[in-house]
Structure 1
Amino acid sequence: MATKRKSAARRGKKKSEARIMPAWLRTILAVCIIAVFSAGFYWFFIRPYAYRWKPCYGQKGYGVCMPCDYEVHGIDISHYQGSIDWVQLTTNKTTKFPIHFVFMKATEGGDHADDTFPFNFDQAHRYGFIRGAYHFFSPKTDPLKQADFFIRTVQLIPGDLPPVLDVETIGKSTPHDLRIAVKTWLDRIESHYGVKPILYTSYKFKNRYLSDSVFNTYPYWIAHYYVDSVKYEGPWHFWQHTDVGNVPGIREEVDLNVFNGSLEQLRALTLQK
């Protein structure tokens, strides 16, 4: 029995020794794991925002590096910006990067109105900004219901920018169904206001879901952050180049935009008499 126990102990010892990983192999595995996690962290959390930390070779304004070669600047706002000091905001018209236009969120889905819209829309007109209103599109809600809700909420006058459709999510819709719903909203709005609406969406979303040529007939407002220039190859009218601007008169960070043209061309885009 003693011999059998010794033999079993020797076998157990050999198995235990066989299971021990060599130190050099453990080191290699640890390095590989660290490298994989570091690469993933950079790819998902650092790379998309790396442009924020690049040296600014142009001119800085509103806390960010401003795009070069654009003379017409603007912002877009919603209730997220809180209470706005419109008198102070007006002083930005005389700065190096004067603010000429302001887009405001008016509606979302079929029944959600931005509670700051009526006051801000009125103040923008009072203080001489070229103003515009946008609707945040919900793929799960009837597009005609959404369009009619926007129409009831937003009364445009000559000098205002065309209505804007903000499309950012596909929800549970198929790309085909999304395109039909978006076109339905655009058609209803164009029929009512007598002007082609502006289509707002990101560079990637436009290429992935709204690349149909039918949408290229609408003025395009592109959201494309942390890049030196617009990469979109087609025509575009507005470029939302950052979401972290700091503008006097607004306490919260705000989206900054440029218009791809002159101030006269921007006015020509507005509703006419």
Structure 2
Amino acid sequence: MPPRKTSPGQLLKKREVATSKPSAKSKISKNNKAVKNIGANVFRWKVIAITVLLILLSPFYYGYILKFFASSWRWVSDLGSSSHYRTYQSFGIRIPTRYHIHGIDVSYAQGKINWPKVKAMKEDHIHITFAFIKATEGLLTVDPYFKRNWREAPKVGIRCGAYHFFRPKKNGLWQARFFLQNVKIESGDLPAVVDIERLDGVAPAAMRNQLHNFLNHVQTKTHVKPIIYTGLSFYKDYLEGYYDDYPLWIAHYNREELKAGANTNWWFWQHSETGKVNGINHAVDFNVFKGDSLQFERFLMR
């Protein structure tokens, strides 16, 4: 039987069917591409995951985050408060900002101080310009860190003043002599300071009598009125009206302003006792000077 002839139309259909069916090679190629795409996606996600992990573990990331939240918290904590009394994160306290000359006072309680670090510390315009340094107490005690602080602080440009912790039960004249035996006050220093903040069991009048003897002797020897340091309540109770012509350094903490009275002759205000300063490993008292830079210069010894 002769073979059936294939018509041209049937032949065309067979060719179309043959070309429409994918070859084995085509299937393998597509599978390889899919596998490669999956591998590339997995690799990409691994890179992203490792990058995120490295960022999260980076100290720079945490430093940035902590700084952001600290700044945000400071903004929230200061919300609604006076713009002239704000928190300074690096110093760890709120500081009255109406004043432009800031300082600290130190004693053995602050330990060994790195004065270059103290001088270098700054946030906005706040930096340490002056320091009151404890020298003596009563008739026998010399602060163990006085000589070092008195020598090292001026080397970095900090203006210094020495203070004596006054004991009302002890003779005021002898205390003044003891103080001046241990402190050499020179040009450029702040005037001598007497720290009187307790009665030690004596009558107020007896305390004032011995304090008067101390002040007179120091003024005679230095030719400048000493500064009187005291707390606001102690001043109001025992000193007000008796020493109005002496410059005062008054302690009154955590306030926007020192409300000691318009006629009070105060020039220094100790506004905090919990400050932080680079180079000092313990809390430190913070102070401001009431006047401007020219007044501060005139306040120094000649």
TM-score if structure 2 supplies the norm length?
0.70
Aligned residue in 1 for 2:39: none
Q: Identify which of 147, 158, 180 aligns with 1:129.
A: 158
- 1: distance between equivalents of 2:121 and 2:292? 18
Match of 1:178 among 207, 220, 240: 207
Indicate the SS of the match to 2:266. Answer: coil
What one-letter code is carried by the residue in structure 2 that aligns with 1:157? E
Structure 1: how far apart are the matches of 2:103 and 2:203? 34
CA distance in 1, matches of 2:124, 2:136: 31
Aligned residues: 218
Give SS of 1:216's match.
coil
Q: Does 1:227 align with 2:255?
A: yes
Aligned 8 A contact 1:110 1:149 in 2: yes
CA contact (8 A) 1:77 1:255 kept: yes
CA RMSD of aligned residues (A): 1.4
* 1:131–1:161 Cα contact (<8 Å) kept: yes
SS of equivalent residue, structure 2 residue 131? strand
- Name the counterpart of 1:98: 127
Is 1:249 aligned with 2:255?
A: no
* Mapping for residues 1-273 of structure 1, pairs under 5 Å: 55-56=77-78, 57=81, 58-61=85-88, 62-92=91-121, 96-213=125-242, 215-233=243-261, 234-272=264-302
Return closer, same or farther for 1:130/1:93 CA change in 2, 3 Å cut-off: farther
Q: Distance in 2 between matches of 1:269 and 1:251?
A: 30
Unpaired runs of at least 5, structure 1: 1-53
Secondary structure of 2:219's aligned partner: helix
Structure 2 portions without partners, runs of 5+: 1-75
Partners of 1:93 and 1:100 within 8 A in 2: no
Identical aligned residues as a percent: 38
Q: How far apart are residue 95 of structure 1 and its match?
A: 5.1
Task: Summarize deviations over 1:51-98 as a string: whole Å, max 9, x none.
Answer: xxx943333221111112100000000000001111211202675301
Instruction: Please say if residues 193 and 228 of structure 2, whose CA atoms lie closer than 8 Å, have aligned partners that are also in contact.
Output: yes
Does the 8 Å contact 2:119/2:127 carry over to 1? no
Moved over 6 A (4+): none
Report the 3-state secondary structure (helix = DSSP H, G, I; strand = E; otherwise coil) of the residue aligned with 1:89. Answer: helix
Q: Does the 8 Å contact 1:136/1:166 carry over to 2? A: yes
User: How far apart, in 2, do the equivalents of 1:94 and 1:68 lie?
Assistant: 12
Secondary structure of 1:134's aligned partner: strand
Taking the aligned partners of 1:92 and 1:174, their CA distance within structure 2 comes to 44
